[in-house]
């Protein structure tokens, strides 16, 4: 493997920071990526332990599907303004 991906319990759910911290302690410098739940509110905390993140749901326009937790459809496009805000938050 070239890296590990850690997720929360469902699409759009971030892993617990303690779990991410513990994983970093166990794997040393081996690459870790967060596979769900990264958003403008938590990306800076995530990057204390992870080398990167896979981001989609937090950047999409529209609402989530009924009866699903934080899942957006493939047809819901990425919002340019949400992506810009995310990057600005990360780089601040």
pLDDT tens digits along 6-64: 999 887 889 999 999 999 999 999 999 999 999 999 999 999 999 999 998 889 887 65
**What is the CA 64 to chain-centroid distance, rounded?**
16
For residues 46 and 53, is the Cβ–Cβ distance under 8 A? yes
In 3-state terms, what secondary structure has residue 43?
helix
Can you give the pLDDT at residue 70?
A: 59
Higher pLDDT, 68 or 89: 89
Can you give the pLDDT at residue 38?
A: 94
């Amino acid at each position: 493997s070239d890296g590990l991906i850690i997720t929360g319990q469902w699409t759009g759910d971030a892993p617990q920071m303690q779990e991410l911290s513990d994983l970093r302690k166990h794997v040393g410098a081996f690459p870790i990526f967060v596979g769900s739940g990264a958003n403008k509110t938590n990306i800076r905390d995530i990057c204390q332990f992870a080398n990167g993140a896979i981001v989609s749901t937090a950047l999409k326009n529209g609402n989530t599907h009924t009866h699903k937790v934080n899942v957006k459809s493939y047809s819901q496009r990425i919002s340019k303004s949400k992506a810009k805000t995310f990057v600005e938050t990360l780089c601040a």
